[in-house]
Chain A
Amino acid sequence: DAGVIQSPRHEVTEMGQEVTLRCKPISGHDYLFWYRQTMMRGLELLIYFNNNVPIDDSGMPEDRFSAKMPNASFSTLKIQPSEPRDSAVYFCASMGTALNTEAFFGQGTRLTVV
């Protein structure tokens, strides 16, 4: 398996634009997580899915953020409209089951909003 695949690796956009980050989890994994990493706040869990269903989105900072998982092999995190304070590295991770397994992370998407 190629691991968790995120795209794009880098994104630079202007304030106010819509940004869509993409993630392909490891095949057969039941869980998918979206994290945001910043210097100030570290790794924050934004939302996670179990079997394509959003379970907890309490970490999503504002209504400008939304995430979907239309099928077991694809998820998106969308920011609309984007703001400079959204600049961060966004990680997607997938996990097989909740018990006795670990999360595998993608390479991350470095988002810069200017």
Chain B
Amino acid sequence: AQKVTQAQTEISVVEKEDVTLDCVYETRDTTYYLFWYKQPPSGELVFLIRRNSFDEQNEISGRYSWNFQKSTSSFNFTITASQVVDSAVYFCALSDPLRDDKIIFGKGTRLHILP
């Protein structure tokens, strides 16, 4: 069965600190996609990144970076030099496009960046 676990319900860090959000997934398929979405206080869901299961290269986009490790079924998200504007709920998600077309979300991690 597909499952996404975000064990960290809530995290608080002081501005400028680095923070890593954990995501562990379960799937029986070899072809799948992983995603991260951001939900700021305004409520919309903003797409951040998509990664397919055949691409284990880490990705960096500005202060954001993602570490995909198939060996541990993890797709962790790190924010470097955090800013107050990074305060949001972050969701990790999984889809198995060869099985069905669902996108399954984790419960989310609420991140507070304190000034």
**B87 within 8 Å of A by Cβ?**
no
> Are B108 and A104 in contact, CB atoms less than 8 angstroms apart?
no
Q: Within the complex, what minimum Cβ distance (angstroms) separates A63 from chain B?
A: 21
Q: Within the complex, what minimum Cβ distance (angstroms) separates A5 from chain B?
A: 12
Tally the A-B contacts, defined by beta carbons under 8 Å. 51
B interface, CB within 8 angstroms of A: 33, 35, 37, 43-45, 47, 50, 52, 91, 95, 97, 100-108
Interface class of chain A by DSSP: strand
> Are B43 and A107 in contact, CB atoms less than 8 angstroms apart?
yes
A interface, CB within 8 angstroms of B: 31, 33, 35, 42-43, 45, 48, 50, 55-56, 89, 91, 93, 95, 98-105, 107-108, 110
> Are B101 and A98 in contact, CB atoms less than 8 angstroms apart?
yes
**Could you say which residues of chain B place their CB within 8 Å of the CB of A45?**
102-105
**Known interface pairs A42-B105, A43-B105, A45-B104; A99-B44 also in contact (CB < 8 Å):** no
CA distance A55 to B100 in the complex (A): 9
> Are B100 and A43 in contact, CB atoms less than 8 angstroms apart?
no
> Are B101 and A55 in contact, CB atoms less than 8 angstroms apart?
yes
**Known interface pairs A45-B102, A45-B103, A55-B100; A102-B43 also in contact (CB < 8 Å):** no
**Could you say which residues of chain A place their CB within 8 Å of the CB of B50?**
100-102
CA distance A26 to B102 in the complex (A): 18
CA distance A93 to B95 in the complex (A): 14
**Could you say which residues of chain A place their CB within 8 Å of the CB of B52?**
100
**Known interface pairs A48-B102, A56-B102, A102-B35; A43-B47 also in contact (CB < 8 Å):** no
